[in-house]
Amino acid sequence: MAVFGLLLSLPLVLPVLVIIAIDSGFPLFFKQTRTGFMGRPYTLYKLRTMKRDAEKKGAEWAREKDQRVTRCGKFLRKWRIDEIPQFWNVVKGEMSIVGPRPERPEFQEELIKKVPHWNCRHLVKPGLTGWAQIRFRYAADTDDSEEKLSFDLYYVKHASLLMDLQIMLSTLRSIARGSR
């Protein structure tokens, strides 16, 4: 499915790479360490949607109407085009299509200390989309992450092929509407 996603999206990604270069220069791709299955770190790939110096002062939570996002990046995020390179993470076996969204290690340590059972979400591979993504808003702090965790744990407990299909269909509907 991930190989199909990469091949199908190639005609879209190539012109987007040119637009990113014109809008905000290089690099075109963004890579970041995330925490994956069983707490193992891996490198996540995305199309770059933020200014190059977005985190010069250190890691920050993403937020709605984030001033660090480029003009092109706003469009890419709205339609989730920036997520397409993560199909490569799926091909490599680091992610699955459905599962909890992977977190950054910089926030992981704080979340483990403050949010009971946070590490339980690592019992399954992280996903491009998940139950929490379709049922909850963008997590912009520890409190939001704690609430979002309840959806992740529900998924871990009730994961099935039928649930995965439901999540994928809901995600496609969301993308078609251009909602985040």
How would you classify the pairing of strands 41-47 and 29-35? Answer: antiparallel
Helix (H) or strand (E) holding 141: none
Q: Is the pLDDT of residue 175 over 90?
A: no
Number of domains forming the structure of the chain: 1
Q: Is the pLDDT of residue 17 over 60?
A: yes
Query: Cα(18)–Cα(79) distance, rounded to whole angstroms?
Result: 17
Q: Is the pLDDT of residue 155 over 90?
A: yes
Determine the distance from the C-alpha atom of residue 4 to the mean position of all C-alpha atoms in its chain, rounded to a whole number. 19
What residues make up the domain containing 121? 2-177
Q: Can you give the pTM of this predicted structure? A: 0.88
- What tens digit of pLDDT does each residue of 53-100 get? 776 776 666 667 777 889 999 999 889 999 999 999 999 999 999 999
Rg (CA), the chain: 16
- What tens digit of pLDDT does each residue of 136-150 get? 877 777 888 888 999
Query: Cα(131)–Cα(148) distance, rounded to whole angstroms?
Result: 9
Looking at this protein, which amino acid is placed at residue 139?
A
How would you classify the pairing of strands 127-129 and 96-98? Answer: parallel
- Residue 1 in contact with residue 70, Cβ under 8 Å? no
